[in-house]
Amino acid sequence: MTDFDLSDLQASVQDRSAFTSLEDYFALGEAFLVFCEETSPTRIISTSHPNYIFYQYSQHYGNRITRPLNSDLFIESSKQFQAAFGRFIDFLSILKKYKQPVEAQNYGKYLAANEINRVVYTIQQAIGSIGDSFANPNQARKRIGQLFERLVKLVIQEVGLVCEPRTIRLPIPEYPGSFMPYELDLVFSRNKAVFTAESPLIHPSEVVGSVKTTSKDRIDKIFLDKYLLTKLMGVDIPVVAIFLHDVQRAVRGTSIFAINSTFKNNHFLGYTVALNRLDGVYYVDPRPEMVVNERLREQIHDFQQFLVHDLWTFADRN
């Protein structure tokens, strides 16, 4: 038996000094899986989407229920997760060594296994599931989003790129000397000699990344980022969006274990036409409509494609 319980996992999520490395994320993900294996929370299959599951904690934790977990992505075995994380780190070292898009034929078996998405998804949803065990659901909500942003940053840094959050100063046209502070989730670049995280500007070789666990209530802000940055700086600033998923638990009839999509299809297409097209949109857990809808399929891809191919295309802009 382990010498920790769910309250220890909760404390880990709230620890502001933790999660400085990918190994820290792995340790918490593995600890959560071991906890589930040893305490056997009730495993519930979604009534509307059988590939999604929920865990229900014991009465000691108020019988609280986790967010929906995609069983096609979420690795439930701690031993399988340990092995997959090892392969993930090895593959990141390959990307760092070659610093260019990876040809599918050379690593076809690994890429076909979808392990990049599976490892990232398992880590982040373990964090989210621990957050769902708090008595107050809002207690860890912001923290969960912050940890996903940091996870993506660490992955990009692991492959050798400079990547940090930044607050810039946008000049306001027709108002000389007036600037608008603007917070950016991530700015990444291969050129280490460009600008630092403290720089108030964006260099032409840098790319802005907006990282959110879900696009719900946030998609308009990301399109606005692209519009304002390009409009106020006078150059085309590349902006990419990275999301974990777009699903939430829903009530349908007598069942409380249905799934709803939170992706706003028409809003996405409307902002694309009315404002501007984003330079890339990536999901760790894409919704099915993003694959079958031709207009969405042109713009939305999975996180694995971002890391294996598109990241290097962006990084090579200048």
Last residue of a domain, one of 126, 151, 176: 151
| Shared-domain flag, residues 171 and 301 | yes
Q: How far apart are the first and last CA of the chain?
A: 54
Q: Is residue 226 part of a domain?
A: yes
| Shared-domain flag, residues 145 and 166 | no
| Shared-domain flag, residues 34 and 118 | yes
Whether 105 shows a pLDDT value over 90: the answer reads no
Q: How many domains does the chain have?
A: 2
Query: Residue 109's domain spans which residues?
Result: 6-151
pLDDT band at 253 (very low <50, low <70, confident <90, very high): confident
Query: How high does pLDDT run on average in the chain?
Result: 92
- Token pair, residue 171, equals 């000049």
Would you state the torsion angle of the CA atoms of residues 314, 107, 98, 28, taken in this order, to the nearest 10 degrees? 80
Q: Is residue 219 part of a domain?
A: yes
pLDDT band at 233 (very low <50, low <70, confident <90, very high): confident
Note the pLDDT of residue 174: 86
Note the pLDDT of residue 9: 96
Last residue of a domain, one of 109, 132, 151: 151
pLDDT digits (tens, 9 = 90+) for 52-98: 999 999 998 899 999 999 999 999 999 999 999 999 999 999 999 99
| Shared-domain flag, residues 208 and 73 | no
Note the pLDDT of residue 40: 95
Whether 193 shows a pLDDT value over 60: the answer reads no
Q: Is residue 274 part of a domain?
A: yes
Q: Is residue 1 part of a domain?
A: no
Last residue of a domain, one of 106, 121, 151: 151
Residue 278: closest CA among 174, 208, 216: 208
| Shared-domain flag, residues 146 and 164 | no
- Which carries the bigger pLDDT value, residue 117 or residue 217? 117
